[in-house]
Every structure is written in C-alpha cells, then in structure tokens.
C-alpha cells in the first residue's frame, strides 16, 4: 500500500472510499472505470501504457488534428476551455488544510473541497499523451474533476511527481458520475493505475509477497478490462454521436 504526504494531506494507494475502506461489493464511491477513458485510436484502458503531459504543448493546440478529434467542439470529449495547472500556491493549499485526499479519486476530492471550502467543482477531462507512441499521434482523456478559485483552476488530487503540470479540459456538457459499489474490475483498474503511475514497489502487498499479488492482479485485470471494454463500447459510440451535434461552444486555451 502507498502511504505518503501530498502538500500537507495524507493519501493512500489503491481504490478506497473517503472513509478509507476498500471492499469490493461494499465500499461506495465515485470510482474510475474503463468507460472514463477515451483514446484517439480507440484502444482500451489496458493498452495505454505510460501516459504523460502532451508533448510540444501549447504548439499542438489548434494545429494537431489528432488532438482536435479529442477535445475539439465536435470531438470525442468536446471542451469549452483548456488550461494547464501546476503545483498549488500556499494560499491555494490552505483550502485543503486537514482534508484526506486520495489518489485516483478526483471526483470525491473535488466534492470534498467544495463542501470544505466552497470551491466550485469543475467537471471535465485530464488530457494525456501515450508516451510509447510517436509525438502527437495518440492522446487519452481521463474523466476528471477539479475546483475553481477566484483566480483560476486548482487540482488537489495527488498525482505522480513526474506530473508537475496537468492539462485539464472543462467539458462542454457535464456528464454525471453516480456513486456506486466498488466492483472487482474497478478495484483491479485502480491497482494497475497505482502501479503504473506511482511505481510497482509502492503498490505492493503488505503481506510480504508483492510479486505474487501483482501477477494475480495483472491476470485478473486483463480479464476484467476486456469485459469492461465490451460493456463500454456502446456508451462510447453514443458519446461520439452526441459529440458530433452542432454546438455553439468555443474552445480556448491558456497557461497558468
């Protein structure tokens, strides 16, 4: 299990609810699942590999046709605003003082900030590029929520040290993310993301045999991911049709 500190707040690895529980079939929360990821080449979440900040930003904004198919007003994830955010200032960090923020829980974290400090929740996507592919060829959107202050956007969800900046895209039309009971596929996805983003050794078992647990999770993840991708195919087709409807929304980009 990962146990660490993120700008004065504690976080723990693996999929956990805001009470710190991880019980498949029992724990309730807004969990990341395969349907919360959309790639420009149609690959499933189990085939992404390492993701990172888009290369050659901001030059690619408005010039890269692949990125446009993702966040353009007729794209898979139409956005009305894009912004690069970085590490919080001391003033921004004060809004989260005392909160228990969790990895992979941007939905819960953003709502906790709103309840704690009154910061508006912004719903949209975190935009990444597949690091293992040629620059500018494959982009991935991960459903993501963050908050807004009077001065701009701020994100408090713990992320890897190699992600000091994050490209966020506010959704043109908000999509609800209902709370649900944690499924085995969601727990496995979270375990894999923790391993990829924060290091396999950090996501290891507490029982002294991390390699065995990781192998078992990988095998179950592959099976669960295939099932989840099949279940999501219809939803992705629907999102694509909705995204192609005419819209008066405008895309804009700015850098903090």
Residues 168, 251: contact at Cβ < 8 Å?
no
Long-range contacts of 97-101 (CB under 8 A, 24+ apart): 97/8, 98/9, 99/9, 99/156, 100/9, 100/10, 100/11, 100/18, 100/20, 101/6, 101/9, 101/10, 101/11, 101/156, 101/157, 101/158
- pLDDT of 11: 38
Residues 100, 10: contact at Cβ < 8 Å?
yes
- pLDDT of 9: 37
Question: Cβ neighbours of residue 77 under 8 Å, at least 6 residues apart?
Answer: 38, 70, 71, 124, 125, 141, 169, 171, 239, 243
State pLDDT tens for residues 98-124. 999 999 999 999 999 999 999 999 999
Counting as low any pLDDT under 50, the low residues of the chain are 1-13, 200-214, 217, 221, 247-251, 253-256
- pLDDT of 137: 98
- Residues 211, 223, 126, 49: is their CA dihedral positive or negative? positive
Element (H, E) at 106: helix 106-117
Q: Could you tell me how many residues make up the chain? A: 256
Alpha-carbon distance of 136 to 60, in angstroms, equals: 8
**Domains in the chain: boundaries:** 33-179
- pLDDT of 199: 85
- pLDDT of 4: 36
Taking the complete model, does pTM exceed 0.85, yes or no?
no
């Amino acid at each position: 299990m990962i146990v660490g500190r993120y700008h004065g707040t504690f976080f723990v690895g693996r999929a956990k609810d805001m009470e710190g529980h991880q019980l498949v079939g029992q724990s309730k929360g807004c969990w990341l699942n395969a349907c919360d990821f959309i790639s420009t080449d149609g690959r499933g979440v189990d085939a992404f590999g390492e993701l990172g900040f888009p290369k050659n930003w901001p030059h690619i904004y408005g010039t890269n046709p692949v990125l446009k198919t993702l966040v353009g007003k007729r794209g898979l994830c139409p956005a009305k605003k894009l912004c690069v955010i970085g590490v919080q200032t001391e003033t921004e960090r004060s809004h989260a003082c005392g909160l228990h923020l969790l990895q992979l829980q941007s939905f819960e974290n953003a709502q906790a900030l709103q309840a704690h400090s009154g910061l508006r929740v912004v719903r949209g996507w975190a935009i990444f590029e597949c690091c293992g592919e040629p620059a500018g060829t494959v982009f991935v959107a991960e459903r993501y929520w963050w908050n807004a202050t009077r001065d701009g956007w701020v994100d408090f969800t713990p992320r890897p040290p190699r992600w000091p900046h994050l490209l966020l895209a506010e959704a043109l039309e908000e999509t609800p993310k209902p709370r649900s009971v944690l499924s085995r596929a969601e727990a496995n996805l979270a375990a894999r993301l923790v391993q990829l983003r924060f290091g396999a050794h950090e996501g290891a078992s507490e029982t002294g045999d991390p390699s065995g647990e990781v192998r078992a999770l990988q095998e179950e993840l592959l099976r669960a991911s295939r099932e989840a991708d099949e279940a999501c195919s219809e939803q992705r087709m629907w999102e694509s049709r909705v995204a192609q409807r005419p819209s008066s929304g405008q895309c804009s980009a700015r850098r903090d």
